[in-house]
Chains A and B, each alone.
Chain A
Amino acid sequence: MAWVNAIIQGVLTGGLYALFACGLSLMFGVMKVVNLAHGDLAVVAGYLAIGVIAVTHIPVLWSFVIVVPLMAALGYALQRTILQRALDRGALTTLLVTFGLSVVIENALLQFFTANTRGIGTGLALVSGSFSLGSQIQIGYLLVVIFAVAVVVLLGLQYFLSKSRYGRLIRAVADDKEAAQLAGADYRHVFGIAAAVALGTVALGGIAYGMYSQLDPTAGTDTILLFAFAAVVIGGLGSLWGTLLGGVVLGVAQQIGAQINISDEVLAGYIVFLVVLVLRPQGLISRRAGS
């Protein structure tokens, strides 16, 4: 029964990892930017939520109404200034710049908010509450909500990219930005929109993580970026539903690892990641089959 519980918990945390991963996947798919500051931006969103809740006293759950647009605006600005400039100079510069951003953000958070951990909405019934299945399985409401949010975000992204006008533009620019430019699309603006959407999902991931666990400045790289990346690789690069599958596989691997030895949770996830990397470097769902 403990194993069934581990698998259920793993599947549900997989939703959180997919939420981390979809922004990373989107930015790579559209702009070929591997954003090493991805996780740190999620932590920024989490801290922002804490600040917004403290200042405006809005209900904790509604903090995303303010934080998501803020982060989306930040994403657009970041893309139009620093990232676009880096992209113009090549992939190497883009990597160096996002790595620089990651270190700067992490240390700035450390400097201003100390290394203390903070949670969002602790004490909320949703955060601490759970329901039980049988005698041994306890499922937290929060994880179910996060999983549902992840599925909704992935469905929304899928719909946005395939049906909406901006989605079509984004796909056109991702395919061939010069050709799209010739056809009248300003690819820099489209890149900005894609970055805004990506950072919107990053904000949701950061807030969700702050509720599920504790935020601290190093969580951005140690947890969010590396787990997001592992989920993306396990699932298959460039496939949205592969990302969800990757997140679920990572989550289940971690929970099973924790079941064997509580300190092996993270290691078990990474070992599954490495095994997939060796046996199936194109991911569990390859690009063609996935999207």
Chain B
Amino acid sequence: MSLVTDTAARPAEDFRVTRSRRNVAWTGAGALIVVVVLAYFPYIVYSGTTAILVQAFIVLTLASMWNLLAGYAGLVSVGQQAFVGLGAYFVLILAIHGTSPFAALPVAAIGCGVAALPLWWLVSRLRSGYFAIATWVLAATVMLIIEKFSSIGGGTGMPLPGLAGFSPALLTAYTYWAGLAVTVLALAAIYLLLRGRLGLVLTAIRDDEVAARSSGARVGLARMLVFVVAGAGCGAAGAVLAISQLQVQPSAVFSVQWTAEMAFATIIGGLGTIEGPILGTAVYMVLQQTLASYNAWYLIILGVVAIAVALFARRGLWGLVDEHLNIRLFPVGYWLRTGGERRGGRRP
């Protein structure tokens, strides 16, 4: 399945094309150390802390997926809660039939990726704003259909079976590791996808869709692939959510609040960069933890900040960092350099 029908290889001359001006190996090593330290957390911190981190993992996974959709493919979906909910329900259904919820997690992710195909077929005929509301209607429809099955809890939901065998400490640790694994895999998948052909095609579409089409980029296929990957990623996050909440409730897992959170975290951090959602999730978690006792205020403040960022600082917090320090932790674009000097570069 090739995304580009024709690419001409360019002969190497006196210029060099690199991914980054600095050595990426350092970023890789840094990321590895962070992941190892995070993986060690259940041994050294209280379960309250890991519970907050699980929440952060869920938001980060969702935000990264939404960033892939909106920031790279130009698809503003307001219906990603459909996949959060489906992921949670896949785990619930498998657990009812005796599978361990942890073993059900990867199945849920794949299931959501597969479910994304027919949903894409339905909404792909609409563009831009109408695409956004159509995904919203679709998410509402999926919830209403799920609520019709009383064997999986109907409109009220039900507790997640299959976790009674775990001791509380072990369950907390396993949940944490599942969340960490999902997040690391999601980020790695997005990074690799964007470095490859898909990233190139998406950048071409973002710059000029007509030109991209006429040079042989298969725009529809690229967008569909992004929608499927984002569906699988949001489904995995939904599965982690079900395990960490120990119950599945339709109005909670299908809430549009999930999309609000992922969108706000992404916009504040910086749309169209892999680093943005990470930074945005950090801001989100800090606000949410500080304002936890003031009900809906954290969402109001996040929303106002996101609107301000979208209007006045389009590239978000990471854009500011990038502007002043010129660093890129996850380079997915190319730099063109001649004789060791940078002549021009394409911003990823």
Chain B residues numbered 164-216 whose CB sits less than 8 Å from any CB in chain A: none
Option from B132, B148, B296 in Cβ contact (under 8 Å) with A110: B296
Q: A107-B303, A111-B300, A222-B140 are in contact. Are A97 and B310 (CB under 8 A)?
A: yes
Q: Which stretch from B89-97, B121-129, B222-230 is at the chain A interface? A: B121-129
Q: Is the beta-carbon distance between B132 and A86 smaller than 8 angstroms?
A: no
Q: Is the beta-carbon distance between B133 and A96 smaller than 8 angstroms?
A: no
Q: How far is the CB of B180 from chain A (nearest CB, A)?
A: 28
Q: Which residues of chain B are near A111, meaning CB under 8 Å? A: 295-297, 300
Query: How many Å lie between the Cα of A233 and that of B138 in the bound state?
Result: 14
Closest to B137 in A: A226
Option from B129, B155, B303 in Cβ contact (under 8 Å) with A103: B303
Option from B70, B74, B303 in Cβ contact (under 8 Å) with A100: B303
Q: Is the beta-carbon distance between B140 and A103 smaller than 8 angstroms?
A: no
Q: Is the beta-carbon distance between A95 and B144 smaller than 8 angstroms?
A: no
Q: Is the beta-carbon distance between A267 and B307 smaller than 8 angstroms?
A: no
Q: How far is the CB of A177 from chain B (nearest CB, A)?
A: 18
Query: How many Å lie between the Cα of A273 and that of B133 in the bound state?
Result: 12
Q: Is B54 an interface residue (CB 8 A)?
A: no
Q: Is the beta-carbon distance between B256 and A221 smaller than 8 angstroms?
A: yes
Q: How far is the CB of B78 from chain A (nearest CB, A)?
A: 6
A81-113 contact mask (Cβ, 8 Å, vs B): 1 or 0: 010011001011111110111011001101100
Chain B residues numbered 138-155 whose CB sits less than 8 Å from any CB in chain A: 138, 140-141, 144-145, 147-148, 155
* Dominant secondary structure at the A interface: helix
Q: Which residues of chain A are near B257, meaning CB under 8 Å? A: 103
Q: A99-B78, A267-B141, A274-B141 are in contact. Are A86 and B303 (CB under 8 A)?
A: no
Q: Is the beta-carbon distance between B310 and A93 smaller than 8 angstroms?
A: yes
Q: Is B274 an interface residue (CB 8 A)?
A: no
Q: Is the beta-carbon distance between A104 and B133 smaller than 8 angstroms?
A: no
Q: Is the beta-carbon distance between A277 and B295 smaller than 8 angstroms?
A: no
Q: Which residues of chain A are near B144, meaning CB under 8 Å? A: 266-267, 270
Q: How far is the CB of B285 from chain A (nearest CB, A)?
A: 18
Q: Is the beta-carbon distance between B129 and A34 smaller than 8 angstroms?
A: yes
Closest to B138 in A: A274
Closest to A237 in B: B130
Q: Which residues of chain A are near B310, meaning CB under 8 Å? A: 86, 89, 93, 96-97, 100
Q: A34-B130, A267-B144 are in contact. Are A226 and B263 (CB under 8 A)?
A: no
Q: Is the beta-carbon distance between B76 and A92 smaller than 8 angstroms?
A: yes
Query: How many Å lie between the Cα of A274 and that of B123 in the bound state?
Result: 9
Q: Is the beta-carbon distance between A107 and B132 smaller than 8 angstroms?
A: no
B270-304 contact mask (Cβ, 8 Å, vs A): 1 or 0: 01000000000000000000000001110110011
Q: A95-B128, A107-B300, A226-B137 are in contact. Are A277 and B122 (CB under 8 A)?
A: yes
Q: Which residues of chain A are near B138, meaning CB under 8 Å? A: 274
Number of interface residues of A (CB under 8 A): 43
Option from B126, B136, B145, B299 in Cβ contact (under 8 Å) with A107: B299
Q: Is the beta-carbon distance between A226 and B128 smaller than 8 angstroms?
A: no
Q: Is the beta-carbon distance between A36 and B133 smaller than 8 angstroms?
A: yes
Query: How many Å lie between the Cα of A166 and that of B130 in the bound state?
Result: 27
Q: Is the beta-carbon distance between A36 and B132 smaller than 8 angstroms?
A: yes
Q: Is B264 an interface residue (CB 8 A)?
A: yes
Q: How far is the CB of B34 from chain A (nearest CB, A)?
A: 29
Q: Is B115 an interface residue (CB 8 A)?
A: no
Q: Is B311 an interface residue (CB 8 A)?
A: yes
Residues of A within 8 A of B (CB): 28, 33-34, 36, 82, 85-86, 89, 91-97, 99-101, 103-104, 107-108, 110-111, 221-222, 225-226, 229-230, 233, 237, 263-264, 266-267, 270-271, 273-274, 277-278, 281
Residues of B within 8 A of A (CB): 70, 74, 76, 78, 122, 125-126, 128-130, 132-134, 136-138, 140-141, 144-145, 147-148, 155, 256-257, 260, 263-264, 267, 271, 295-297, 299-300, 303-304, 306-307, 310-311, 314
Interchain Cβ contacts under 8 Å between A and B, 21 examples: A33-B129, A34-B128, A34-B130, A92-B76, A94-B129, A96-B267, A100-B304, A100-B306, A101-B303, A103-B264, A104-B300, A111-B297, A222-B140, A225-B136, A229-B137, A237-B130, A267-B141, A267-B145, A270-B140, A274-B122, A277-B126
The 5 closest A-B pairs by CB, nearest first: A34-B129, A104-B303, A107-B296, A100-B307, A267-B144
Known: A86-B310, A107-B303, A111-B296. 13 other contacts (CB 8 A): A36-B133, A92-B74, A92-B76, A95-B128, A99-B132, A100-B303, A100-B304, A103-B257, A103-B264, A110-B295, A263-B147, A263-B148, A274-B138
